[in-house]
């Protein structure tokens, strides 16, 4: 299945694949590795961290494909641009997985690295990464339904929802012998995309993962998903893809503080903050406390980035 993912992304046995997800007793790094070996591509098996060495290998080995989480891809992209290495790298494609990410972050990574990005999907319990990937049309993730059976359910009622409605992805393995799973709840929120993809692939599609059922937070009686924070920030000019949400309970009231990064000069921060608050009211509802910070002030991560901190309980 992973070999098929590489092929869907147009990776061939002439590519050099640098793998930054972790190698260990789980499926991440080794999944990327096994797929690339099956395809016959050369691999640069790095694992996470040690940015210095990653950049050196990327130049020396003339890496053409980068496999990473979106947080780490962003960190590498910022480093490559900051050090003026863009002309020295040969990257053409990025295979980015295991984390939900917004359009703005995707655009920044694609622009800064000058590569085409593909979303890979998977979970350790079900073979690991590589049970689906986006195609070059970037409209959802094609899933390998000859190996797995996919359903979308309402996480509260546990009933299947109609195609196109957002719910929790549930997976049944059809061929797995060692540890088969029947109707395994992923806690990933997405929807089945209807119609056929212009790429012509017959494999069905789900939308990009919009969050986790356990990432859902209820503030002032309103359910919120991480995707909504992305949506608000992508609608306001001069905000970056990075944000952090702090939720506190003070004097009987929920208070949500949204920290976001902006490249704008300090005298414009107040104006941008009120635009963010206004947009949030429009898209989500409740009044929030927006706080601008400089680009680079919020933490970056070599693994997955936590963005929502609920301090209420």
Q: Is 141 in the site for Zn ion (CB under 5 A)?
A: no
Q: Which of 57, 110, 181, 199 touches Zn ion by CB under 5 A? A: 199
Task: Give the shortest CB-229-to-Zn ion separation in angstroms.
Answer: 28
Does 197 participate in binding Zn ion (rule CB under 5 A)? yes
Q: CB-wise, 204 or 226, nearer to Zn ion?
A: 204
DSSP secondary structure letters along 261-313:
EE-S-GGGHHHHHHHHHHHHHHHT-S--EEEEEETT-SPP-SS----EEE---
171 binds Zn ion (CB under 5 A): no
Contact status: 135 vs Zn ion (CB under 5 A): yes
Region binding Zn ion by CB under 5 A among candidate stretches 62-70, 198-206, 222-230, 285-293: 198-206
By the rule CB under 5 A, 207 interacts with Zn ion:
no
> Is 145 an interacting residue with respect to Zn ion (CB under 5 A)?
no
**Nearest approach, Cβ of 65 to Zn ion (angstroms)?**
19
- Number of residues forming the site for Zn ion (CB under 5 A): 5
Nearer to Zn ion, 62 or 138 (CB): 138
Decide if residue 138 touches Zn ion (CB under 5 A).
no
Cα distances (Å, whole numbers) of residue 133 to 88, 117, 140, 245, 265:
28, 10, 8, 29, 39
Which residue is associated with the tokens 């299945």? 1
Binding mask 83-122 for Zn ion (x = CB under 5 A): ----------------------------------------
| Contact present, 292 and 273 (Cβ < 8 Å) | yes
Q: Is residue 166 within the footprint of Zn ion (CB under 5 A)?
A: no
Closest distance to Zn ion from the beta carbon of 7 (Å): 13
Q: Per CB under 5 A, which region of 55-63, 135-143, 153-161, 169-177 contacts Zn ion?
A: 135-143
Beta carbon of residue 205, minimum distance to Zn ion (angstroms, whole number): 7
Task: Collect contacts of 288-291 with beta carbons under 8 A, ≥24 apart.
Answer: 288/256, 288/257, 288/258, 289/255, 289/256, 289/257, 289/258, 290/257, 290/258, 290/260, 291/257, 291/258, 291/259, 291/260
Closest of 111, 132, 113, 112 to residue 122, by C-alpha? 132
The least CB distance from residue 137 to Zn ion, in Å, is: 5
Angle value at C-alpha 215, between 300 and 285, nearest 5 degrees: 100
H-helix or E-strand containing 80? helix 70-82
Per the structure block, which two tokens stand in for 80? Answer: 């490559």
Kindly identify the residues of this chain, within the stretch 282-301, that bind Zn ion according to CB under 5 A.
none
Which of the residues 57 through 76 are near Zn ion (CB under 5 A)?
Answer: none
Binding positions for Zn ion, rule: CB under 5 A? 135, 137, 197, 199, 201
């Amino acid at each position: 299945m992973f070999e098929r993912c590489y092929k869907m992304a147009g990776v061939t046995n002439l590519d050099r694949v640098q793998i930054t997800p972790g190698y260990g007793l789980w499926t991440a790094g080794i999944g990327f590795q096994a797929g690339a070996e099956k395809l016959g591509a050369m691999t640069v098996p790095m694992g996470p961290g040690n940015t210095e060495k990653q950049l050196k290998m990327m130049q020396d080995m003339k890496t053409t494909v980068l496999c990473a989480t979106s947080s780490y891809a962003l960190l590498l992209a910022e480093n490559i641009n900051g050090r003026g290495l863009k002309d020295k790298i040969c990257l053409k494609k990025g295979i980015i997985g295991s984390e939900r990410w917004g359009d703005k972050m995707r655009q920044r990574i694609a622009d800064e690295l000058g590569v085409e990005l593909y979303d890979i999907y998977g979970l350790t319990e079900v073979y690991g990464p590589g049970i689906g990937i986006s195609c070059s049309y970037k409209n959802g993730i094609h899933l390998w339904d000859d190996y797995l059976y996919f359903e979308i359910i309402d996480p509260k009622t546990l009933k299947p929802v109609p195609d196109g409605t957002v719910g929790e992805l549930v997976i049944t393995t059809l061929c797995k012998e060692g540890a088969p799973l029947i109707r395994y709840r992923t806690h990933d929120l997405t929807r089945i995309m209807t119609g056929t993809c212009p790429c012509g692939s017959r494999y069905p599609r789900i939308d990009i993962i919009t969050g986790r059922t356990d990432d859902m937070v209820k503030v002032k009686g309103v359910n919120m998903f991480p995707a909504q924070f992305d949506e608000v920030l992508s609608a306001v000019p001069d905000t970056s893809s990075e944000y952090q949400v702090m939720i506190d309970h003070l004097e009987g009231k929920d208070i949500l503080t949204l920290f976001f990064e902006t490249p704008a000069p300090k005298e414009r921060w107040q104006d941008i903050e009120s635009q963010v608050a206004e947009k949030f009211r429009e898209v989500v509802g409740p009044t929030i406390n927006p706080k601008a910070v400089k680009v680079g002030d919020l933490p970056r991560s070599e693994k997955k980035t936590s963005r929502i901190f609920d301090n209420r309980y």
